[in-house]
Amino acid sequence: MPSIRPVHYSALIKLFERDGFVFDRQRGDHLIYTRPDVLRPLVIPTYHKVPVFIIIKNLLRTASMSRERYFELLQSV
């Protein structure tokens, strides 16, 4: 399994939209995405390279997404 590397925020947006998340609102430089079956919204910062700890610890855990699913969606972006 490859290691998770920093990615551009637009790739994360496409990835999570393919997983069913929809844009809800923006606050400053953070985009908020929601999905009805996920209790907490995803907060994606508009950084050139989103750090790995944000991707792994926050976004994947909040979305209940496995690493395998993440890499599968990332390849299709």
pLDDT, position 64: 93
Domain spans of the chain, in order of start: 9-76
1 pLDDT exceeds 80? no
pLDDT, position 14: 96
Q: Does domain 9-76 have CATH number 3.30.70.3270?
A: no
> Of 9, 14, 1, 3, nearest to 56 (Cα)?
3
Question: Dihedrals φ, ψ of 2, to 5°?
Answer: -70, 160
pLDDT, position 2: 84
Q: Please count the other Cβ atoms lying within 10 Å of the Cβ belonging to residue 67.
A: 13
Contact between 35 and 17 (Cβ < 8 Å): no
pTM: 0.90
pLDDT of 18-63, one tens digit each?
999 999 999 999 999 999 999 999 999 999 999 999 888 899 999 9
